[in-house]
Amino acid sequence: MPVYEYVCDECEKVTEALRKMADADAPQACEHCGSGKTHRTHSLVAAPVGSGQSLPVAGGHVHSGSCGCGKPRGSCGM
């Protein structure tokens, strides 16, 4: 099953959910504030490049601290 990311329309934080593809667009509650007002967003995809490392190959952004992803500086997974 794939992992999907949902952005909360209330607190603007990201929630990850392991779901069936058929359920990807079904409502998902925010794990931070409990709001049911979320929308699915594009997720970072990583591919192995040898020695167990991976590089982003699609989507994502450079964490600026003000990107709004809700993750601590330096640990942005987007």
Domain assignment of residue 51, yes or no: no
Angle (CA) 17 13 4, round 5°:
25
Q: State yes or no: pLDDT of 58 exceeds 80.
A: no
Is the model's pTM score more than 0.75? no
Strand blocks (E) in 9-48: 14-18, 38-41, 45-48
Confidence tier at 1 by pLDDT (50, 70, 90): confident
Domain assignment of residue 20, yes or no: yes
- Tens of pLDDT, residue by residue over 29-41, are 999 999 999 999 9
The residue-averaged pLDDT of 33-54 equals 76
Domain assignment of residue 32, yes or no: yes
Confidence tier at 78 by pLDDT (50, 70, 90): very low
As for how many domains the chain has, the answer is: 1
Q: State yes or no: pLDDT of 45 exceeds 70.
A: no
Domain assignment of residue 27, yes or no: yes
